[in-house]
A and B are shown apart, each in its own frame.
Chain A
Amino acid sequence: MEKHAGFMKALKCRECGREYPLTANHVCDFDFGPLEVVYDYDRVKQTLTRAAIQARPKSMWRFRELLPVAGNPTVGLEVGCTPLIKADRLARRLGIRELWIKNDTVNYPTLSFKDRVVSVALSRAKELGFTTVACASTGNLANSVAANAAAAGLKAYVFIPADLEQSKVLNSLIYGATVIGIKGHYDEVNRLCAEIAGKYPWAFVNVNMRPYYAEGSKSMGFEIVEQLGWRIPSNTVVCMASGSLLTKIHKSYQEAIKMGLAPQAAYRVHGAQATGCSPISTAQKAGLDFFKPVKPNTIAKSLAIGTPADGFYALKVMKETNGRADDVTDDEIRQGIKLLAECEGIFAETAGGVTVGVAKKLIASGAIPADDAAVLCITGHGLKTLDAVAGHAGYTREIKPSLREFESLLDAETRSPARV
């Protein structure tokens, strides 16, 4: 393999700094630390300008120089450039001056931010010669790997906890992927996949391809910066499962400043978890720089990672940016989903309810000042987790096809408004 592949220089251990060639490898041989892609920033800077970006097609690949593929991307060319919505009605309800929703519920093709990481991982997997791809997933990643692999003509194996939401299971099966339900938590799925990845010559997007895969999340941050008119938001609230997205949003802001795309500015990155799986927020609130693994029990299954791989780094980012973490109960998650839907017409999955619920708490406590601005990263669509809100979203008024019945219903509801 060529030494300088595209704008990448090497893989480098985040713990000890040892460098490795740009293969499918995610772990430092010496201390098991995570490997990360190193870029040739001097070369990136020559072509990645605001004008160049704005002249490119509207997809995440407009930031191609800072995404880890050697040649042109071949998978997921339409992914990204999701709307950034000014959420005035939700802002009033949460009590903050300025609020934005980065709406990845409408990401292409599988309605979650995972399409970003998968398009990078599969493009890179093809470059490295793989024909079979795989993943350990809490659902959204499985959907995205299955769909993008189908479109790219790759064989896919997806491993999920056996108790996932039915819609997330079907949303993987439909594309022809081999879906393997593991009787256990995500962390157990993950452990098995690490063992399988050591034995089979497959591109596991979030195991041996993880250094490339994780970089795809930066595109969400780059897009926020561009959509705000080339500035970094003073507060960003991000949900945390492994903590990877939060660390990559931070990295995207750092790179945007470094490449001269946005002016230097102080910003805070805040993390959101479900109380039923809150190893990172618990550690942050206690002022610790390490976390204790937990066994998850929450309706936010897409965030149910008890041993978060990037937990240490997420804590570090929050410490460095003066960000805060918090967590919300299952009821607060459902309230968050309803609040976002009723105020902004956006139906988010449980992880979105977590982000809204935690933003509400952080604003109420003053951790995010009321006279400030914030961006909420909403990462997946509500149609994927219908089970979580079934029975909590209100009810259908059923009548005969009769005008009289309709009018008596209206009359009754006007006199004593139905409780929803």
Chain B
Amino acid sequence: MPVKVLIPTPLRKLTHDEEVVQITAATVGGAIAELQSRYPGIKERLTDEAGGVRRFVNVYVNEEDIRFLQNQETALHDGDEISIIPAIAGG
């Protein structure tokens, strides 16, 4: 499915300063793999050695935290928007 990914400031060096990237993927995990093939090095920034999303990275699909959905198995639909946002803020 064609979806939109919003890239946070710390990762824009990898995306050549692109703030929004259009990709095609069926799941969040698939989207991360697709980003990696297009922007090598981005995967290790988002996921740890075990493959899980790093604990200080929050990923949202249409503004819902994927931890309230099916994590990396969360299915994507045409026109969905993925936001990647540093978790450390607030309080």
Query: Are B88's CB and A26's CB within 8 A?
Result: yes
A31 and B87 in contact, given A188-B63, A198-B8, A293-B68 (Cβ under 8 angstroms):
no
Q: Does A202 contact B (CB under 8 A)?
A: no
B18-58: CB near A (< 8 Å → 1, else 0) gives: 00000000000000000000000000010000000011111
- When each residue 228-249 of chain A gets 1 if its CB lies under 8 Å from chain B and 0 otherwise, what string results? 0000000000000111100000
Which of B63, B65, B89: most chain A Cβ within 10 A?
B89
Instruction: Choose among B8, B85, B88 the residue with the greatest number of A CB atoms under 10 Å from its CB.
Output: B88
- C-alpha spacing A244/B91, complex, angstroms: 7
CA distance A278 to B84 in the complex (A): 25
> For chain A residues 165-209, which have a beta carbon within 8 Å of chain B?
186-191, 193-195, 197-198, 204, 206-207
- Residues in B with CB closer than 8 Å to A197 are 89
Please name the residue on chain B nearest to A240 by beta carbon. B91
Please state if A241 and B91 are interface contacts (CB–CB under 8 Å): yes
Indicate whether A310 reaches chain B with its CB closer than 8 angstroms: yes
> Closest CB-CB distance, A277 to chain B, in whole Å?
12
**Contact residue among B60, B63, B65, B87 (Cβ-Cβ distance under 8 Å from A32):** B87
CA distance A136 to B91 in the complex (A): 8
Which of A31, A206, A290, A312 has most chain B Cβ within 10 Å? A31
In the complex, what's the smallest C-beta–C-beta distance from B42 to chain A, in angstroms? 12
**Residue A309 lies at the interface, judged by CB distance under 8 Å to chain B:** yes
- Report chain A residues within 8 Å CB of B10: 27-29, 32
Shortest C-beta distance, A27 to chain B (Å), equals 4
A residues within 8 A CB of B91? 206, 241-244, 305, 308-310
CB distance from A192 to the nearest CB of B (A): 9
Flag whether A143 is at the interface (Cβ < 8 A): no
Q: Does A30 contact B (CB under 8 A)?
A: yes
Query: Once the chains bind, are A195 and B85 in contact (CB under 8 Å)?
Result: yes
B70 within 8 A of A: no
B67 to chain A, nearest CB (A): 6
Interface residues on B, range: 20 to 34
Chain A residues near B62 (CB-CB < 8 A): none
Instruction: Check A320 for interface membership: any CB of B closer than 8 A.
Output: no
- Chain B residues with CB under 8 Å of A188's CB are 63
A360 CB-CB contact with B under 8 Å: no
User: Is A292 in the interface zone, CB < 8 Å from B?
Assistant: yes
With both beta carbons as reference points, the residue of chain B lying nearest to A204 in the complex is identified as: B89
Minimum Cβ distance to chain B for residue A330 (Å): 21
B90 touches A305 (CB 8 A): yes
* Tally of contacts, chain A with chain B, CB under 8 A: 83
Q: Is the CB of B88 within 8 A of A293?
A: no
A206 and B45 contact, Cβ closer than 8 Å, known pairs A27-B10, A34-B56, A307-B58:
no
- B86 within 8 Å of A by Cβ? yes
Q: Cβ of A15 and Cβ of B56 under 8 Å apart?
A: yes
With A242-B90, A292-B67, A309-B90 in contact, do A191 and B85 touch (Cβ < 8 Å)? Answer: yes
Cβ of A33 within 8 Å of any chain B Cβ, yes or no, is yes
CB of A334 closer than 8 Å to a CB of B? no
Q: Are A31 and B68 in contact (CB under 8 A)?
A: no
Closest Cβ of chain A: how far from B65's Cβ, in Å?
Answer: 6
When the two chains form the complex, which single residue of A32, A191, A193 contacts B56, counting CB atoms closer than 8 Å?
Answer: A32
Q: Which residues of B contact A193 (CB under 8 A)?
A: 89-90
Contact between chains at A207 and B90 (CB < 8 Å)? yes
- Residue in chain B with minimal CB distance to A211: B88
B8–A207 contact, CB under 8 A? Answer: no
Contacts of B89 in A (CB 8 A): 26, 136, 190, 193-194, 197, 204, 206-207, 210, 309
Residues of chain B within 8 A (CB-CB) of A15 are 56
Q: State in angstroms the CA–CA spacing of A308 and B58 once bound together.
A: 12
Q: Which of B10, B68, B91 has the most CB of A within 10 A?
A: B91
12 contacts between A and B (CB under 8 A): A32-B57, A188-B63, A190-B89, A190-B90, A191-B58, A193-B89, A194-B8, A194-B86, A293-B65, A309-B87, A309-B90, A309-B91
